[in-house]
Amino acid sequence: MTRKQTRMLRRILISVATLAAVWVLCAFVPLPWYAQLALYLIPYLIIGYDVLRKAFLGVVQGEIFDENFLMAIATVGALALQEYREAAAVMLFYQIGELFQSYAVGKSRKNIAALMDIRPDYANLETREGVQQVDPDIVAVGDVILIRPGEKIPLDGVVLEGSGTINTSALTGESRPRRVSPGDDVISGCVNQDEVLRVKVSKPFGQSTVARILELVENSSLKKAKAENFITKFARYYTPAVCIGAAALAILPSLFTGQWGVWVSRALTFLVISCPCALVISIPLTFFGGIGGASRSGILIKGGNYLEALAQVKTIVFDKTGTLTQGVFQVTGVFPAEGFTEEALLETAALAESWSSHPIAQSLRAAWGKPVDSSRTRQVHEEAGHGLTAQVDDVPVAAGNARLMEQLGVQIPQSNQPAEGATVVYLAIDGAYAGFLQISDVEKPTSAQAIQSLKRQGIRTVMLTGDAEAAAHQVARRLGLDDYHAQLLPGDKVEKLEQLLNTKAPNTTLAFVGDGINDAPVLRRADVGIAMGSLGSDAAIEAADVVLMDDDPAKLPLALRIARKCRRIVYQNIVFALAVKFLCLILGAVGIANMWWAVFADVGVMVLAVLNATRMLRPIKPE
């Protein structure tokens, strides 16, 4: 418990003991009303002086209609009606409820704070005077830092010296270590486990992965869900309405019956019952807990509005490469046309693709296995979704799919066709067909499991890809997807997504899952954009509403379960709190519910709603 919570608990215990002693004394010793008032004021002021103070300041500052004002008016009125015991008890139970709420919120914040622990405290900067510990904020791009075993990586960079493993669990929620060696990128927030790493900094701290993630999580509470906005607007109109209603209940019947004491008492009970604490506290707490719980599992959700939209998802559209597949291509066959050799075909392909960062280009260079002299390649022109053309040793070369060959007027012989479902790169050299290379991209180990889990949740799954029809069909069949669309250019993906958005069921949302680099337009257009975060890629964090930090498709069903549980708890609290409130308000108005009923309708409902909201703090295990 915090120091503030400990002080409140001490006040509650002292007030309980004092109230019990005064209650017993007044039960056995006849005392005049002023003596009883003086005695009951002791526990009342011990437990309620801060509520009275806040109510007074609220009136002075023009913020009248809040729970402190309602509690102050109701309990002071009860004292005026000589309901001394009830006044002190109502204030006591209200503060118990506030303590409970404070503890629940504090526990949720601790869960978020566990994620905040990824923030590095220092960086070991190499200087002319030696290695110095400095604030990560002052380290510049290009500086060299040392990361010793057991230390957090303070900034993003590239390994210059040292090999070993880094623990990425703070970002991904998974304990699987990642192997790094010279030339590999490392990101801030991970922990070096083995050897000393010498790293060249590639980004300032403000733009580093850890800083971006912390900023996202800290600002997530600013993006409120519809349910949160509803409660805010509801309380804005509801509280003045019940105050006016209570005044009317006290005055109007009394004018006709003359029973001012009876109707004023009912009006005060009405005020206590009307406090909207249960809704105002429990709804944001539920969303806060949901975002925190998802963060611990390596799922970054940028706000309560996206968490709510995620709960309504009924269709998930996937990109293929890097999302459902590993995006690590391997050349599995080289098939030259007559007059060309395998070695010449592979070398030409590696040279043509020497300037490209596409995974297929990387696989071609890796298959060549020798240093690629990119200076031999000039005038590279990429055709989006088709391939590229270039000058290799001053000879025109084209590398791409069948559509590129057709566009260039290159005839592919019927005798030189790839196997069905294969991904291929055709080559044309100096306008003549030169052959093709067959490339494989393996599905991620958890992709099929993720698709089956989503289907059990009633989700329709669709894949959009630029690959050939046969290759897309094979992947869709193996993974069990409901539908797929192949041979799509980047612009075609947006158009196809628009069609899917237009045909979705009312009151449902559509999510798109991509790698966050090539799919930014589609991520932004979808109701919910979900990016495979590549351990914190900038494009993923910028474009998406939800980021899966470890690129694992199996996290998708978990994210939906977290979102749906959150929505279920929110609706439960709204229905329960409003039903009890309105029932007790009616009973209070007709004189059936007394001040003790009011305590349950206010504090009791708040405690039960907060208890229900804290269920979001329990981790949800993957299926």
Q: Which two tokens stand for residue 437?
A: 């290379």
DSSP letter at 121 equals S
Q: Is 194 a catalytic residue?
A: no
CA distances from 499 to 317, 455, 486, 493 (A): 12, 21, 15, 10
Structure tokens at 445: 């180990």
Q: Is 155 helix (H, G, I), strand (E, B) or coil?
A: coil
* Residue 326 CB neighbour total at 10 angstroms: 16
The half-sphere exposure of 243 on its side-chain side, counting CA atoms within 13 A, is 17
Helix (H, G, I), strand (E, B) or coil at 179: strand
Beta bridge partners of 331: 439
Q: State the number of CA atoms in the 13 A half-sphere of 56 facing the CB.
A: 7
Paired strand residues for 436: 335, 426
Burial label, 99 (beta-carbon count in 10 A; 0-12, 13-18, 19+): middle
Smallest CA-to-CA distance from 58 within 45, 44, 70, 46 is with 70
Please identify which of the residues 66, 143, 156, 319 carries the catalytic annotation: 319
Measured distance CA(306)–CA(183) in Å, rounded: 37
Q: Which of 158, 193, 278, 184 is nearest to 580 (CA)?
A: 278
Query: Do 596 and 273 form a contact (C-beta atoms < 8 A)?
Result: no
Query: In angstroms, rounded to a whole number, what is the distance separating the alpha carbons of residues 84 and 70?
Result: 17
How many residues are given for the chain?
Answer: 623
Nearest to 291, CA basis, from 232, 223, 211, 233: 223
**What is the residue-wise DSSP string for 548-588?**
ETT--TTHHHHHHHHHHHHHHHHHHHHHHHHHHHHHHHHHH
Residue 164 bridge partners (DSSP): 180
Tokens (6 digits) for 127: 């200087």
Alpha carbon distances (Å) from 540 to 10, 130, 501, 544:
49, 37, 22, 6
Strands, sheet with 191-192, edge to edge from the N-terminal-most edge strand: 177-180, 164-167, 191-192
Range 376-385, long-range pairs (CB < 8 A, 24+ positions): 376/351, 377/351, 377/352, 380/352, 380/355, 380/356, 382/356, 383/407, 384/489, 384/490, 385/466, 385/488, 385/489, 385/490, 385/492
Query: Any residues with CB less than 8 A from the CB of 290 and at least 6 apart, and which?
Result: 301, 304, 307, 562, 563, 565, 566, 616
Q: What amino acid positions are annotated as catalytic residues? A: 319
